[in-house]
Amino acid sequence: MLYFAYGSNLHHFQMKRRCKDSIFLKKINLKDFRLTFRSKYRAADIEPKRNSIVPGGLFEISKSDEKKLDVYEDFPNLYRKYYFNYYGKKVMTYTMTKKTIFKYPTERYLNIVKRGYKDCNLDNSYLRKALKG
């Protein structure tokens, strides 16, 4: 199945450790959404926003990878699944169930996300914008 990563799962080494079958395919943009950080975990989340985009990584993952991600993302409590179409193919990602106020991420978490942006060759300007709340 196809999975869209936009936070710490962009980090290739971490993603491979978490999901051994995962294959990074390419970078893509999720349209009409914006990136933010929230919850007591100060983790990445996406929310609808017209004329905005969230850059991310498109991965091929196995069923067992999906189960591991479900545990990591605390599905269905912290995150729920969100599906969208990308050139006729169904893509899964996660979005937080409770849309709490913006919380600046921890330095450790942010460094993982920044490394992921490098790994996937994403435009950092969207991350910088998200960090402004």
Does residue 133 fall inside a structural domain?
A: no
Does residue 129 fall inside a structural domain?
A: no
* 114 — pLDDT class (breaks 50, 70, 90): very high
Helices of type H across 5-75: 12-18, 63-72
The 10s digit of each residue's pLDDT in 68-105 is 999 999 999 999 999 999 999 999 999 999 999 999 99
Does residue 48 fall inside a structural domain?
A: yes
Contacts of 85 (CB under 8 A, 6+ apart): 91
Residue 11, domain extent: 2-124
Q: Quick one: which of 27, 21, 31 has its CA closest to 1?
A: 21
Domain harbouring 77, CATH code: 3.10.490.10
* 51 — pLDDT class (breaks 50, 70, 90): very high
Average pLDDT over residues 47-54: 97
Please give the tally of structural domains in the chain. Answer: 1
3 state SS of 88: coil
- pTM exceeding 0.85: yes
Does residue 116 fall inside a structural domain?
A: yes
The tokens describing 126, both together, are: 């969207």
Q: Tell how strand 89-96 and strand 2-5 pair up.
A: parallel
Average pLDDT in the chain: 97
Does residue 118 fall inside a structural domain?
A: yes
Does residue 130 fall inside a structural domain?
A: no
Does residue 56 fall inside a structural domain?
A: yes
DSSP code at position 75: T
